[in-house]
Chains A and B, each alone.
Chain A
Amino acid sequence: MSTETKPVLQVEHLSTCFKTDQGVVTAIDDVSFDLYPGETLGIVGESGSGKTVTSKSIMRLLPEHLSFQKEGSVVRFEGKNLVTATEDEMREVRGARVAMIFQEPMTSLNPVFTIGWQLDEALKYHTDLDRAARKQRAIEMLKLVEMPNAERRFDEYPHQLSGGMRQRVMIAMALCCEPDILIADEPTTALDVTIQAQILRLMDDLKHKTNTAIMLITHDLGVVAQTCDRVLVMYAGRVVESAPVHELFDAPRHPYTKALLQSIPKSGRREHGKRLPTIAGLVPSLFDLPPGCRFAARCAYRDEHCDAVEPELVDDAPRRRVRCHYPLPAEEVAR
């Protein structure tokens, strides 16, 4: 990826709110980042930090009566702002241009139709192949994602598949149309590592062959280390750090990122059965956010300034940004 090329997607000041029984919450707050063709951008962060909401906001897949974007939110794709695009325009974008693989496949596969029917629908909508050709293509796609016995699985219903097989159906559907952007939300968490390796290689091939930009949401830092070019770290609805992958692993600058890297279980006899390091404390409630830094209460480096004033996300070094009053020194090596 070179910074000379133009981004395919620009997210600027994206804020998404939900209306709940207890009032309105801002689930993601002023999220900004660029996505370039042919790169894999990893998004990591605390569970509940807003990774899924960010991607569903881009795709406009959140329930419209329960959620809204704040004034000034922009998702720029091909000169259009998707936040204000019409539903017709969005239908064009979804699927064919920007595809998404969901975290919980059972909620996005239709339980009353066979796998084959669902793949066929996607192909019908996005290609002009005839019925027989579509079936052939669908089975090819299933084979591509290493679905065992693809011909047979074609006629099965989602409940007849294992968790990992459902996930692979979702991946097949997303890849059907060679999208410009692939948003993959925990695509391999349900898969064993040998299949995971195949899927990661498949996504890598897609990236090289069609210059697809990939947004990879994962909590598996091993997957990030293996496949991502750049990483965005989120915490409590905020982007707290972004950096090229090597730099992030070598020298995380936000204390949350550092703590996250330290919680990975390490293999080997010495560590077996030991309690793992965790980050003490809890994320703040979205209903009751502190005035200062959202990580302050759990941070080893905080002082009064952190409690009082929230730091801005600032450019820190070329291609690095961090939201911290006292970023860790660039030389410090994690672990």
Chain B
Amino acid sequence: MSLLQVEGLEMHFPVRGGLLNRVVAHVHAVNGVSFEVQRGEILGVVGESGCGKSTLGKCLVRLNTPSGGAFRYDGVDYTHADHEELMDYRSRVQMVFQDPYSSLNPRLTIRDCLTEVILFHRPHEAEVRDVDEMVLELVQKVGLRADAVDKYPHEFSGGQRQRIGIARALACNPEFLIADEPVSALDVSIQAQVLNLLMDLKDEFGLTLIFISHDLKVIEHFCDRVLVMYLGNVVEELECETLHESAQHPYTRALLGANPINHPRERRELTVLEGDVPSPFDLPPGCAFAGRCPIAEPRCSESRPPLEEKRSGHRAACFLVE
């Protein structure tokens, strides 16, 4: 059985306005997303900025309560679980947040911050082991120097803070990690170090990962499977090993086409998609990508293509994909 099963998950935020501050509309941030994650797998999530990746992650750690659909973790439905039921869940499933600055307490040194997490989530281990040592171990794992522990968040660079966010999530010893752009602020050598660390954790302890990133090169290299999202929906799901050859959805192809180059010699006019992203306030009846799609036909704007299995392990939501 899959470790995580997500079925038709929806997250609609109310938008208030007018004189009486009534709810005038809803943002359809996540709009019926279904997928599964196997134990020990790394699932990548890529997609347009604002397509709902972070919101999806926050639903899965229940910082948002989904407005529709359901998800089950290890056989248990946590979609509407209450605070108490979530206690245990939250020490098994952790999230690394996209904006490390706003998710760290500015008044705590790194040592205090990590100690707090360890004492809360691993009290039994903390009784038999030196907590300070556990803190140092974590800090070094993410490639920071031991002397970083007595500093405050503002004393770090952006990339150093991002690693502190990772260390904090790992401090719970989670079995499932949702990492939201965990390496986006890191230079490539540190990025490589963090990715290697995550791969080691996967191999040694069977860590399962949802890895949100906009960097297809990293996803392709690092993940087993990838979900491609567009405006709250999954538009394609496929294996990463053959991403280049098998990607079919026009949006995925556009992402691959705009992928940055390796050498200034390869410089070219970047493919820029024309047209607008439709509003998440009132979604069009048809395919959300139709307005920017280079191969769209009239029927694409009339009804929404369902996410269908095109071949084993490959789903796509497009009328024009065989």
A and B: bona fide binding partners: yes
On A, residues with C-beta under 8 Å from B are: 18, 20-22, 44-49, 51-53, 103-104, 106-107, 148-149, 152, 155, 160-165, 167-168, 186, 189-198, 200-201, 219-223, 225-226, 228, 245-246, 249, 259-260, 263-269, 271-279, 282-283, 285, 287
Seed contacts A104-B158, A195-B49, A219-B159; 17 additional CB < 8 Å A-B pairs: A22-B147, A44-B187, A47-B158, A190-B98, A191-B214, A197-B271, A219-B185, A222-B261, A222-B262, A226-B260, A226-B264, A249-B263, A268-B244, A272-B220, A272-B241, A273-B222, A278-B192
Q: Bits for B166-189, please: 1 = Cβ < 8 Å to A, else 0.
A: 000000000000000100111111
B151 adjacent to chain A (CB < 8 Å): yes
Given contacts A162-B49, A190-B49, A278-B189, contact A225 B261 (CB under 8 A): yes
Q: Is the CB of A273 within 8 A of B281?
A: no
B21 adjacent to chain A (CB < 8 Å): no
> B32-40, B78-86, B88-96, B272-280: which lies at the A interface?
B272-280
Residue in B54, B150, B277 whose Cβ sees the most chain A Cβ within 10 Å = B277
The count of residues in chain B whose C-beta lies closer than 8 Å to any C-beta of chain A is 76
Q: Contacting A260 at CB < 8 Å: which of B27, B189, B221, B277?
A: B189
Given contacts A190-B49, A266-B217, contact A226 B187 (CB under 8 A): no
Q: Is the CB of B255 within 8 A of A103?
A: no
CB distance from B236 to the nearest CB of A (A): 14
Taking CB atoms, residues of chain A closer than 8 Å to B196 are 275-276, 278
Q: Is the CB of B188 within 8 A of A221?
A: yes
Q: Once bound together, how far apart are the Cα atoms of A137 and B292, in whole Å? A: 25
Taking CB atoms, residues of chain A closer than 8 Å to B156 are 48
Taking CB atoms, residues of chain A closer than 8 Å to B99 are 104, 106, 163
Taking CB atoms, residues of chain A closer than 8 Å to B266 are 225
Q: Once bound together, how far apart are the Cα atoms of A193 and B217, in whole Å? A: 11
A-B contact count (CB 8 A): 213
Residue of B nearest to A197 (CB): B270
Taking CB atoms, residues of chain A closer than 8 Å to B277 are 148
CB distance from B239 to the nearest CB of A (A): 10
7 intermolecular pairs with C-beta atoms under 8 Å apart: A48-B156, A162-B50, A192-B48, A266-B217, A273-B199, A276-B195, A279-B189
Residue in B48, B155, B199, B263 whose Cβ sees the most chain A Cβ within 10 Å = B263
Q: Is the CB of B48 within 8 A of A265?
A: no
